[in-house]
Amino acid sequence: MAVSSSLVTYAFQGGMSLSKTKTCSKDFMSYSSLCKQSGCLKSLYPRHPRFLPNEKVTKLELTNRSSGKTGILCQALEIENAPSFSVGKKFQLDDVIEAQQFDRDILNAIFEVALDMEKIEKNSPGSQILKGYLMATLFYEPSTRTRLSFESAMKRLGGEVLTTENAREFSSAAKGETLEDTIRTVEGYSDIIVMRHFESGAAKRAAATADIPIINAGDGPGQHPTQALLDVYTIEREIGKLDGITVGLVGDLANGRTVRSLAYLLAKYKDVKIYFVSPDVVKMKDDIKDYLTSKGIEWQESADLMEVASKCDVVYQTRIQRERFGEKIDLYEEARGKYIVDGRVLEVLQKHAVVMHPLPRLDEITVDVDADPRAAYFRQAKNGLYIRMALLKLLLVGW
For residue 366, state whether it binds its own copies (rule: CB under 8 A). no
Q: Rounded distance, CA 127 to CA 284, Å?
A: 42
CA 319 to chain CA mean position, Å: 20
Determine which residue in the list 42, 47, 90, 156 makes contact with its own copies, applying CB under 8 A.
156
- Give the phi and the psi of residue 124 in degrees, each rounded to 5: -85, 150
Which is nearer to its own copies, 108 or 164 (by Cβ)?
164
Residue from 42, 48, 196, 205 carrying the catalytic annotation: 196
Q: Work out how close the CB of 219 gets to its own copies at its nearest, in angstroms, rounded to a whole number.
A: 18
Task: Say how many C-beta atoms besides its own lie within 10 A of residue 365's C-beta.
Answer: 23
Helices (H), the chain: 15-20, 25-38, 85-88, 104-123, 144-156, 179-186, 202-209, 225-239, 257-266, 286-294, 305-311, 329-338, 343-348, 377-397
Residue 197 designated active-site: no
Give the DSSP letter string of 300-319: EE-S-HHHHHHH-SEEEE--
Catalytic residue list contains 178: no
Answer yes or no: 59 catalytic.
no
Shortest distance, position 368 Cβ to its own copies, whole Å: 11
- CA proximity to 309, closest of 263, 275, 273, 284: 275
Which of 4, 9, 64, 163 is close enough to bind its own copies by CB under 8 A?
163
Q: Which of residues 375, 387, 391, 396 is near its own copies by CB under 8 A?
A: 375
Q: Is 314 left (phi over 0), alpha (psi -120 to 50) or beta?
A: beta
What counts of helices (H) and strands (E) characterise the chain?
14, 13
Residue 382 is a catalytic residue: no
CA dihedral 297→303→305→306, nearest 10 degrees, is: -110
| Out of 190, 227, 261, 318, the residue judged to bind its own copies by CB under 8 A | 190
Question: Does residue 185 touch its own copies according to CB under 8 A?
Answer: yes
3, 4, 18, 20: which one binds its own copies (CB under 8 A): 20
**Torsion, CA 305, CA 307, CA 313, CA 319, rounded to 10:** 0
> What letters, b where the CB count within 10 A reaches 16 and e where it falls short, cover 326-363?
eeeeebbeebbebbbbeeebbeebeeebbbbbbeebee
The window from 118-126, 222-230, 255-263, 274-282 that contacts its own copies (CB under 8 A) reads 118-126
Contact call for residue 36 and its own copies (CB under 8 A): yes
**Residues within window 240-259 making contact with its own copies, judged by CB under 8 A:** 240
Does the annotation count 48 as an active-site position? no
Q: CA-to-CA distance for 56 and 60, rounded, in angstroms? A: 13
Asked if 50 interacts with its own copies (CB under 8 A), we say yes
Catalytic choice (63, 137, 146, 182) = 146
Closest CB 183 distance from its own copies, rounded Å = 10
**Amino acid found at 108:** N
Phi and psi angles of residue 218, each rounded to the nearest 5 degrees, phi first: 110, 120
- The string of DSSP letters for 355-388 reads EE--S--SSSB-GGGTTSTTB-HHHHHHHHHHHH
Classify the C-alpha dihedral 387-390-394-395 as positive or negative: positive
**Shortest distance, position 33 Cβ to its own copies, whole Å:** 4
CB 98 → its own copies: shortest distance, Å? 24
Least distance to its own copies, CB of residue 73, Å: 23
Give the contact letters, 213-242, x = binds to its own copies (CB under 8 A), - = no.
------------------------xx-x--
Site track 51-80 with its own copies (rule: CB under 8 A), x = hit: x-----------------------------
Cβ(288)–Cβ(260) below 8 Å: yes
Q: How far is the CB of 245 from its own copies (least distance, A)?
A: 16
Active-site option among 22, 122, 175, 351: 175
CB closer to its own copies out of 84 and 172:
172
* Site stretch for its own copies (CB under 8 A), options 18-26, 71-79, 91-99, 260-268: 18-26
Among 302, 359, 366, 399, binds its own copies (CB under 8 A): 359
Site for its own copies contains 378 (CB under 8 A): yes
List the one residue from 14, 68, 83, 176 that touches its own copies (CB under 8 A). 176
Residues known to be catalytic: 145-146, 175, 196, 224
